[in-house]
Amino acid sequence: MIAFGRIRPGILASVALAIALLPVAFAGKTHAAESYAIAMHGDPALPADFAHMPYVKPNAQKGGRLVWGVLGTFDSLNPFIVRGIAVQQVRGFVVESLLSRGNDEAFTLYGLLAKSVETDDVRSYVTFRLDPRARFSDGKPVMAEDVLFSWALLRDRGRPNHRQYYAKVAKAEALDPLTVRFDFGGTSDRELPLILGLMPVLPRHAVDPETFEETTMTGPVGSGPYRVSAVRPGASVTLTRNPDYWGRDLPANRGLWNFDEVRLDYYRESNGQFEAFKRGLYDFRVENEPLRWHDGYDFPAARSGDLIRDAIKTGMPQPSEYLVFNTRRPLFSDVRVRRALTLLFDFEWINRNYFFGLYARAGGFFAGSEFSAYGRAADGRERELLKPYLAHIPPDILDGSFRLPVTDGSGRDRAALRAALTLLSEAGYDIDGNVLRQRATKAPLTFEILVTTRDQERIALAYQRDLKRAGIEASVRAVDPVQFDQRRLGYEFDMLQNRWDQSLSPGNEQSFYWGSQAADIPGTRNYMGARDPAIDALIAALLEARERPEFVSAVRALDRALMSGFYAIPLFNVAEQWIARWNRIERPAATALTGYLPETWWHRPDAQAK
């Protein structure tokens, strides 16, 4: 039995009540037709009789091993709790959800554990009918009671995003042993049926509620294609393909999960991780450092073709890196200070000297997509949504004329310095000799920049130089990845570098990123501590949107509210995914809209597994 944690009495009570209703005929409600899939907006792109996803090779070779090099460490195999540093690949490879993503669409889910989904036009409820063939890895069937147990357990003891999402359910019950219905009690959240469709399903018979929130090195019992077969604490985890996997022939799974074994090898330091890759000790790496991508792959295997480099353009908003202000700190509570410090960052110098001019940057959080408000005037729908909050939206952000500062690239731009000092004076700071001090208290403006990689450190040190010209003393603190994650999750920092990946269907996760409720809950991604009624209202608006045009306007309005807060300094946007792989690993000719997917790859039949 896997030991996962203590559970509130209310969880067992709610599960017991639901199970007591087995079977129950649900009366007095108007049902929509059952469907094989559900889309956030519009209809699913694939027909009901689709054979496989368009981005797979359906007859891909099975066998071999994929070795995955991971930077960092782990102390838990439970990715569903806040405590510990978990192996995230357990989710998906070992533990499945009711429905699976179509990665060529903005947000569409197809049948997996649930063979069908049903909801009404206003999405006031959702019903899932389980596939009677579905089995956990120990052979026991996946039942409605497992779904209800998972929902209640994660709602009360799971990660903050699970607690936030699943608490929106007003009523959950089993209509029969294989059918579960969730009612939303009037909640205006059209994404909620899909969020529940992605809920991980845990076996009630194999999870000990008394220890759910404790870290564990025991592999969970899941219904997915792999099982945890070996663990070297902090060093590696081996996942072995389950030969009896119930879902291997589902259309949504054809061409996926091709390796007999997936081994995750952990590295504590990024340079050592790269050297291991050059020696062929793991099979692929996602490169995030332009300098390395530009000239770091000039070694024999890359020149001979044994190593392949793929630059993949996706249809997603471009991933962007930021220096994040922790506004929980009094120092950063004034938006004028945050805006001034944004002016002092010399992107042009850093991009030319460190990144070979490979990067661009945008002022918002949805770069390169239709959701981006940067450089785009607000439309009528956006203005209507923003009307109650216009006092906090600068006119240049509303009309699209706002631009990030462009320096002369010298590292000594006088115009940027003057503009920043003017804002800092308005915020109550004056230059005293060579030190910027608060006018009232004479306290110097100082803070710490937390970093964990050499690339982050280089950026921070260049920024430290720019700040010093304004009389600001910033210290750069380098820590290992484990401490970095712990301090980030606990909001124990002044400033750090972070990246938010966005999808083509922003939804409930936006509350997790910057909603007021998430600001003081450890483990969320609201690292800046944003607490803004405008942001909360606009997240609600995008969740209520029924058609794509109004949805796009709501997301753009959210982008304007975020830009107006100057919560983070945009560093750069990544226009491509840079993937390097040894040629023993092959991938489909077609790439999903979302980019690279290791689960679609396979081992070349004539290559020897490492």
Residue ranges per structural domain of the chain: 2-55+84-208, 320-573
Q: Model confidence over 299-325: pLDDT tens digits?
A: 999 999 999 999 999 988 998 999 999
The pLDDT value given to residue 7: 39
The pLDDT value given to residue 14: 46
The whole-angstrom separation of Cα 181 and Cα 142 is 16
Q: Model confidence over 591-600: pLDDT tens digits?
A: 999 999 999 9
- Which among 225, 35, 205 is positioned nearest to 114, based on CA atoms? 35
Q: What is the number of other CB atoms lying within 10 angstroms of the CB of residue 60?
A: 18
Amino acid at 138: D
Q: What is the number of other CB atoms lying within 10 angstroms of the CB of residue 86?
A: 20
| 12 has a pLDDT exceeding 90 | no
| 259 has a pLDDT exceeding 60 | yes
Q: What is the number of other CB atoms lying within 10 angstroms of the CB of residue 452?
A: 24
| 27 has a pLDDT exceeding 50 | no
The pLDDT value given to residue 610: 54
- Which among 568, 533, 529 is positioned nearest to 328, based on CA atoms? 529
The pLDDT value given to residue 20: 42
| 137 has a pLDDT exceeding 70 | yes
What order of strands is seen across the sheet that includes strand 171-176?
114-119, 125-130, 179-183, 171-176
- The Cα-based distances of 257 to 42, 448, 502 in angstroms read 29, 44, 25
Lowest mean pLDDT among 31-40, 247-256, 296-305, 585-594: 31-40
- The 8-class DSSP code of residue 520 comes to T
Angle of helix 533-544 versus helix 548-565 axis, rounded to 10: 170
List 495's β-bridge partners, or say none.
Answer: 325, 449
With left for phi above 0 and alpha for psi between -120 and 50, is residue 116 left, alpha or beta?
Answer: beta
Confidence of residue 74 (pLDDT cuts 50, 70, 90): very high
Average pLDDT, the chain: 92
| 351 has a pLDDT exceeding 70 | yes
Residue 586 contacts residue 596 (beta carbons within 8 Å): no
Residues 250-286 as b/e (b if ≥16 CB within 10 A, e otherwise) read bbbbbbbbbbbbbbbbbbeebeebbebbbeeebbbbe
- Which among 68, 73, 451 is positioned nearest to 267, based on CA atoms? 73
| 337 has a pLDDT exceeding 60 | yes
Measured in degrees and rounded to the nearest 5, phi and psi for residue 239 equal -110, 130
The whole-angstrom separation of Cα 271 and Cα 274 is 5
| C-alpha atoms less than 13 angstroms from C-alpha of 597 in its C-beta half-sphere | 27
| 484 has a pLDDT exceeding 70 | yes
Q: What share of the chain is helix, strand, coil (3-state, %, to 5)?
A: 30, 20, 45
The whole-angstrom separation of Cα 297 and Cα 341 is 35
The whole-angstrom separation of Cα 491 and Cα 475 is 18
481: part of which helix (H) or strand (E)?
helix 481-489
The pLDDT value given to residue 32: 66
Q: What percent of the chain has pLDDT over 70?
A: 94
Amino acid at 337: V
Residues 227-240 as b/e (b if ≥16 CB within 10 A, e otherwise) read bbeebeeeebbbbb
Residue 464 contacts residue 450 (beta carbons within 8 Å): no
pTM of the model: 0.77
**Chain-centre distance for alpha carbon 73:** 19
Q: Is 303 exposed, middle or buried (0-12, 13-18, 19+ CB in 10 A)?
A: exposed
Residue 512 contacts residue 526 (beta carbons within 8 Å): yes
Q: What is the mean pLDDT of the segment spanning 464-490?
A: 94
Amino acid at 580: A
The whole-angstrom separation of Cα 165 and Cα 171 is 14
Q: What is the mean pLDDT of the segment spanning 365-373?
A: 93
| 79 has a pLDDT exceeding 80 | yes
| 31 has a pLDDT exceeding 60 | no
The whole-angstrom separation of Cα 487 and Cα 209 is 28
494's tokens: 């002044």
Amino acid at 115: K
Lowest mean pLDDT among 85-94, 271-280, 287-296: 287-296
Q: What is the number of other CB atoms lying within 10 angstroms of the CB of residue 130?
A: 25
Amino acid at 379: D
Confidence of residue 2 (pLDDT cuts 50, 70, 90): very low
Q: What percent of the chain has pLDDT over 90?
A: 81
Q: Is 73 exposed, middle or buried (0-12, 13-18, 19+ CB in 10 A)?
A: middle
Collapsing DSSP to helix, strand or coil, 126 comes out as: strand
609's tokens: 């597994």
Q: Model confidence over 552-567: pLDDT tens digits?
A: 999 999 999 999 999 9
| 268 has a pLDDT exceeding 60 | yes
- Which among 399, 393, 403, 397 is positioned nearest to 342, based on CA atoms? 403
Residues 203-224 as b/e (b if ≥16 CB within 10 A, e otherwise) read bbebbebebbbbbbbebbbbbb
Q: What is the mean pLDDT of the segment spanning 532-551?
A: 93
List 16's β-bridge partners, or say none.
Answer: none
Q: Is 411 exposed, middle or buried (0-12, 13-18, 19+ CB in 10 A)?
A: middle
| Answer CATH for 320-573 from 3.10.105.10, 3.40.1160.10, 3.40.50.1980, 3.90.1150.10 | 3.10.105.10
Confidence of residue 609 (pLDDT cuts 50, 70, 90): low
The pLDDT value given to residue 18: 44
Domain spanning 2-55+84-208, CATH class: alpha beta
- The 8-class DSSP code of residue 15 comes to H
- Which among 171, 40, 182 is positioned nearest to 125, based on CA atoms? 182
The whole-angstrom separation of Cα 13 and Cα 172 is 12
| 576 has a pLDDT exceeding 90 | no
Residue 83 contacts residue 299 (beta carbons within 8 Å): no
The whole-angstrom separation of Cα 478 and Cα 163 is 33
Q: Which residue has the higher pLDDT, 550 or 609?
A: 550
Lowest mean pLDDT among 192-206, 287-301, 546-560, 574-588: 287-301
The pLDDT value given to residue 22: 43
Q: What is the mean pLDDT of the segment spanning 514-524?
A: 93
193: part of which helix (H) or strand (E)?
helix 192-197
- Which among 423, 424, 422 is positioned nearest to 445, based on CA atoms? 424
| 23 has a pLDDT exceeding 70 | no
Confidence of residue 244 (pLDDT cuts 50, 70, 90): very high
The pLDDT value given to residue 393: 97
Angle at 53 between CA 49 and CA 55, to 5 degrees: 155
The pLDDT value given to residue 289: 81
| 25 has a pLDDT exceeding 60 | no
Would you say the CATH fold of 320-573 matches that of 2-55+84-208?
Answer: no
The pLDDT value given to residue 86: 94
231: part of which helix (H) or strand (E)?
strand 226-232
The pLDDT value given to residue 482: 84
Confidence of residue 606 (pLDDT cuts 50, 70, 90): confident
The pLDDT value given to residue 4: 36
Angle at 540 between CA 10 and CA 499, to 5 degrees: 90
The pLDDT value given to residue 542: 94
Residue 494 contacts residue 86 (beta carbons within 8 Å): no
